[in-house]
Structure 1
Amino acid sequence: LQGRLWWLASLSCTVLLFSPFVTPHPADPDKGRRKVVHVLEDDSGAVIVQTAPGKVVTHRGGTITLPCRFHHEPENVDPARIRIKWTKVTDAFQFEDVFVALGRQQRAFGPYRGRVDLEQAGVGDASVIIHNVTLQDYGRYECEVTNDMEDDTGFVSLDLEGVVFPYYPRLGRYKLNYHDAEESCKQQDAILASHAQLHKAWLEGLDWCNAGWLEDGSVQYPISHPRDQCGRKDTPAGVRNYGYRHKEDERYDAFCFTSKLNGQVYFLKRFKKVSYPEALKACQRDGSAMAKVGQLYAAWKFQLLDRCEAGWVEDGSVRYPIVNPRARCGGSEPGVRNLGFPDKKFRLYGVYCFRKDSPDPECVSTTGPECFGGGGGRGGAISSFMTQHRDGW
């Protein structure tokens, strides 16, 4: 009898060992990265976090809620012992602190100070509200809720309504390493575009034959109309990818991204054309600044600025925005026409100026959410995009 029991025990272990329900999972390609883990059973004090699927979308200057809810088991846990922490995922292995709350103690970090607070819409609400959203807020956020030794995590992606534009400086094309490209976009009131933003721009019709840096360090370019001078005519349309390049040594153009303006771009009406120095002074006399390239693109996209007159912009180039194409205005597609970088002494052009929105007088002495620029609906958008080629317009 003893031998039979031993045989049955051995057989049970063998069945469990080779049962498909306990077969080890294959090697995880994301091993070493932080993951979302959802505990769905027992009453061991587990914390369960839920975040919204997909993306939440706003624009620069807006106010947005990053949704995150949680519940813990058992439910009679002291709320003061629940810690809520938000971080931004800057890349695969880097996290930037955004906000932390433990009971009534709350703290925002770095550029989020004064702009982030808890929604506090009831028990189990870990959502945060970001006021006066900036271009740099774009990206993926992690919501972590901790109850003593138990925790769970969820992710929320924040997207911005905006426009992608290719950029190269006066020095010419293929002159920017990654850091130069990053700085060039910043100088034009923009940031380096993400792959998702460039892909969306390509879906809307962006066609550009020069490769440019993206924010992740890759180099890509969008082709809507395949042709021999842009990687062969018989290749399919799409976003061509050179992969990740050496950020210091290799040089390309840049793809920049900007969003809705906290101000207005306008063409300064004058009776005569002006040189670049004269244009700069003319905007200043009008209580404005010369418009940056990113601001002109944002005005074209959201203000539907349509002007068939070439004008100086801040980087020394000459451009003009076209919403409704017509034959005498440079082509059959909407877009921002680029005439390049002429001699700044030429008096052949007008000028585009930018004037910031005046602050609401009622907001001067308050910091309420209504004073963070979150009001207003979505600006107008152009359904089709621009078609530009290697040789310019």
Structure 2
Amino acid sequence: MAKDGPGGEKTEKPTPQRLKKARKDGQVPRTQELGTWLGAVAASFLLPAMVGRSYDGAQALFRQIGEVAERPDVAAIQVLLGQALSTFLAAALPLAAGVLVVGVLSSAAQGGIVFASKPLKPSLGKLNPFPGLKRMFGGHGLWETAKALIKTIAIGVAIGFTVDDAKMLVASSGSMPLGTVASVFTDSALMMLRVAALTGLVLAVADYMVVRMQSMKKLKMSHYEIKQEHKQQEGDPHVKGHRRAVMMAQARNRMMTDVTTADVLLTNPTHVAVALKYSSSFGAPRVVAKGSGEVARRLRELAAEHGVPQVRDIPLARALHGSCDIGQEIPPQLFTAVARVLAFVMQLGAKGIKGGVHQPGFTPPDTEGLPVAGRRRATPVAGGGTGA
């Protein structure tokens, strides 16, 4: 038994099936840092607008408070409280909505929105303290420590840039208008917030790369696991049935398309149908479509729609249907019989006759030793029809 289990050492990239299962289980690499710092950036631009609205709304409210104080009235007080609530919501909702949208977009950018119930299920393994200790003192813990140090340094640099302006402001605040003091303090605080947020964004991108690398490492597979997965997929009757149905549908569609360009359609006249096509690039005429029952009926309909001549030759149609697969050249034993049919079709074309159903009454071909389609014995055929 190898060190990574019975499957051997996990050195291979996860297969799409493993990634799909991991995503279903909620194992999507993502970092909370991205949403946090994008929210901080958004807040640094939305806060001034919120403060401005709050200031204007507060001024209007204070004027109304003075009016209500001069003429106290229950109805006026209720109106005042309603206006205070609407002013607060009008100022706070844009900020909350902006941060919410940024958080959702940041989550979607890290693998989309995933609803997984498995992480919420109770598990005794979550009570095991050793994985937590390993993360705390392992590589993950070192990375978290490094992130904290970088963020602290970034905030310190931002404070260093703004402290000189703050000192000058405090020293001369007595001779400056209150509005100027508030404006300088606001600008300094916003700059500090933006510097810290931009630094956090850089850290968030790096953290995402680290988290993704760790997640892909956990999902790595061994050669044995990959082989077992392939076996399970190949052996699944639903997968095999679906694959077979798709292949049959594709073959049927291709066959129905090929019959529209065939040179002739040989019929039984109603039980089987075989479409032939000849080209100078072929060694011999080929069967491009065939079928029985309902498939034969559809082939006759398509031949009639596209002007493909239909020749009723029961022995030849049965022999070709039973001995040839779609795309296969006719057997040498039937060369003479098929040549007579193609020559007959060429004569029709020379007379300007296109399509139609014809029964020239040729001599039956020699079919000794060839499998021949019959009326009672059903055999599967390519393209979804059945021979009989």
TM > 0.5 between the two?
no
Instruction: Report which of the two has the higher share of helix.
Output: 2
TM-score using structure 1 length: 0.19
For the pair shown, the structure with the greater C-alpha radius of gyration is 2
Instruction: Report which of the two has the higher share of strand.
Output: 1
